[in-house]
Chains A and B, each alone.
Chain A
Amino acid sequence: MLGVLIRRVLGALPVLAIVSLITFGMIHMIPGDPAAAIAGMSATAEQIANIRTDLGLDQPVLDQLWHWYANLAHGDLGRSLLLGIPVMTATLQRLPVTLALSAYALVLTLVLGLGSGIVAALKRNTWIDQAAMVLAMIGISLPNFYLGLLMIILFAVDLGWLPTGGYVPLWQNPIGWLATSTMPAISLALLLAGLLARITRSTMLEVLRQDYIRTANAKGLPRRQVVLKHALANALIPITTVVGIIISLLISGAVVTETLFSIPGIGQLLTQAVLNRDYPMVQGGLLLTTALLVLINIGIDVCYALLDPRIRYDG
């Protein structure tokens, strides 16, 4: 168990090193003078020079790279040009909002995706199976912001059941949070639930064909026990790897969903940063989010090893 953890952490280190190098290099990929690009059209020469010194762009690239890593080691990602606060502080302030929304969407994804996938596999080739798979296909093909907009038109504008956007912190007013987060969470979850349902169905069908399922049925175990204990437990192993992809897609999806529903999370923070050419915020936010994803994936791999003893014992 510990072996899996250590191996995965060691494997993630070079990836994180390259991720941070790419993030560092971003500002140097700006065509022309980065300082002038950040300052904008109407900036004076003095303002441009100030920005250049502030960001250290006047120093040799290797010195800049050294400072980048030295600061990273101290958890210092620089200062947001737009907000005037450290990038780390800004990100940590917004992170819980995105995590709460993502967790809500993930719960919906798991319930809808696993549920419909399992039912479709058990009722294979019936109208229930076909309906579930048609819905899953539509879910996969429905752009999340389009679904969000359609829900706003129906539930907020026409019916007036839910607010069109805005945000209430979970720990201040759970009911309000539920009201403002339900549409964004559904618009995020439907695509991923479709994805998960298709994979769950095919994995379950694969497992249900195995000899040990026939044995379990033959010895007269209740259907429920065969499905849950023998089939699902084994189907969950390949499904776990998909959850990592789902979480990555969830964070990507949150960018547009948060902007659409005016939710002050990481996605909205980074979109604002891009629109305002706040490059330190873009770099820091991108790096932190990616690092978090890498950590989550390590966690998933550990769960995978817990579920599947074959991986634990393989050297």
Chain B
Amino acid sequence: MTDEDDRRTHPAWDTPRRLLHHRLFVLGLMLFAIVAIAAILAPWIAPTDPNKLAMRFKFRPPSEEFLFGTDNFGRSLWSRVIWGARLSMLIGSSVVAINAVAGTLIGALAGYFRWLDNGLMRVNDALMAFPAVLLAIAVTAVLGPSIADVIIALGLVYTPRTARIVRASVIVLREMEYVQAAIAAGAGHGRILRRHILPNAMAPLIVQLSFLFAVAVLTEATLSFLGVGAVPPTPTWGNIMAEGRQYISDAPWIIAIPGLALMITVLGLNLLGDGLRDVLDPRLRIQP
């Protein structure tokens, strides 16, 4: 057996190897990568200012000159959609980061310390009782219509859902024998949570966060489309589609292209999440 074989069969490579053998996961990863790379490379692949007006070019259908066509102000949709991807990725990853930190913290505290559980979970349940999009709309109405406010609103709406998932894992893990052994050995609460409980609660959290990314991107687009998200002319996909609504019969590409970008992103992340769940958390697997 060569060194290379040895490395490939090492247990640490097990999860990545199984993920790469999951065909739908790879498809999802590719779809998501297209959008993420476009977002990162935006200044180079779409150098035209997404808000640059050019009335003489308005309503050009997709062509060689204007890859995705132009809108009612002659703005390049290629630029607007690519820069929109950047905003979607920024908002999605920020909401995921908020959830990863706050959701883990709240879930771990509620699950580990019984005396905190009741209070934290009642507030959590109350926040989850609101229909998600309605609460997000109401919070942006209160805070204001900037990208940062949208991120805060989505963080507030979705963190309770993440906290609940972390709490559920922590409650189960807390009763495990190795945790009891750590307590008996005199480990402090902080050490037990960090070293023994949270690493084992990661699998369902990672799965949740990949679906959450999709939901955050989708809800942000919904808010923009309703006119309560980032103010126009900010090139979010929802804003582009909302502005295109008036010209739906003459210039359907203004709606069709950003919508397709949104769908590719959400589909990619959903496939990614399905794959991660199959590999990391087999108990929840949707039967093959």
Residues of A at under 8 Å CB distance from B? 14-16, 18-19, 22, 26-27, 29-31, 124-125, 137-138, 140-143, 145-146, 149-150, 152-153, 157, 198, 201-202, 205-206, 248-249, 251-253, 255-256, 259, 267, 270-271, 274-275, 277, 279, 282-283, 286, 289-290, 293-294
Assess whether B249 is interfacial by the CB under 8 Å rule: yes
**Interface size (B, Cβ < 8 Å)?**
46
Contact B138 A143 (CB under 8 A): no
9 contacts between A and B (CB under 8 A): A15-B126, A16-B126, A124-B287, A143-B266, A153-B249, A252-B133, A256-B225, A270-B137, A290-B130
Interchain CB contact under 8 A, A137 and B134: no
Chain B residue numbers with a CB within 8 Å of A29 are 142-143
Taking CB atoms, residues of chain A closer than 8 Å to B116 are: none
Question: A259–B227 Cα gap in the complex (Å)?
Answer: 11
Minimum CB–CB distance for A163 against chain B, Å: 14
CA distance A259 to B241 in the complex (A): 14
Of residues B122, B125, B126, B255, which shows the largest number of chain A Cβ atoms within 10 Å of its Cβ?
Answer: B126
Contact B142–A26 (Cβ < 8 Å): yes
Alpha-carbon gap, A294 to B263, bound state (A): 31
Q: Are B143 and A31 in contact (CB under 8 A)?
A: yes
Q: Hey, which chain B residues are within 8 Å of A149, CB to CB?
A: 241, 245, 248, 255, 259
For the complex, give the distance between the alpha carbons of A104 and B155 in Å: 32
Tell me, in angstroms, the Cα distance from A206 to B262 when the chains sit together. 34
Cα–Cα distance between A206 and B218 once the two chains are bound (Å):
31
Q: How far is the CA of A68 from the CA of B131 in the complex (A)?
A: 22
Contact status of A271 and B137, CB under 8 A, knowing A145-B241, A146-B263 = yes
Chain A residues whose C-beta falls within 8 Å of the C-beta of B228 in the assembled complex: 271, 274-275
Q: A30-B142, A201-B286 are in contact. Are A18 and B134 (CB under 8 A)?
A: no
- Tell me which residues across on chain B come within 8 A of A30, comparing CB atoms: 142-143
| CB <8 Å contact, B263 and A206 | no
| Residue of B125, B130, B144, B287 touching A201 (CB-CB under 8 A) | B287
From A14, A145, A251, A283, B225 is in contact (CB under 8 Å) with A145
Nearest B residue to A142, CB-CB: B263
CB-CB under 8 A for A274 and B137, given A255-B226, A256-B226, A290-B131: yes
- CB–CB B267/A255 < 8 A: no
The residues of B that contact A15 with a CB separation of less than 8 Å are: 122, 125-126, 129
Q: Which residues in window 12-37 of B have CB below 8 A to A?
A: none
Per CB-CB distance, the 10 closest pairs between chain A and chain B, nearest first, are A18-B126, A141-B267, A252-B133, A146-B259, A274-B141, A205-B287, A252-B131, A141-B266, A251-B131, A157-B249
B263 and A141 form a contact (CB under 8 A): yes
Q: Smallest Cβ distance from A226 to chain B, in angstroms?
A: 18
A242 to chain B, nearest CB (A): 13
B252 CB contacts on chain A under 8 angstroms: 153, 157
Roughly how many angstroms separate A205 CA and B126 CA in the complex, as a whole number? 34
Contact (Cβ within 8 A) A137 B226 = no
Query: How near does chain A come to B271, taking the closest CB pair, in angstroms?
Result: 7
- Taking CB atoms and an 8 Å cut-off, the chain B residues in 219-242 that contact chain A are 221-222, 225-228, 241
Which residues of A sit under 8 angstroms from B266, Cβ to Cβ? 141, 143
Q: Are A19 and B130 in contact (CB under 8 A)?
A: yes
Q: Which residues of A contact B218 (CB under 8 A)?
A: 143
B41 interfacial by beta-carbon distance below 8 Å = no
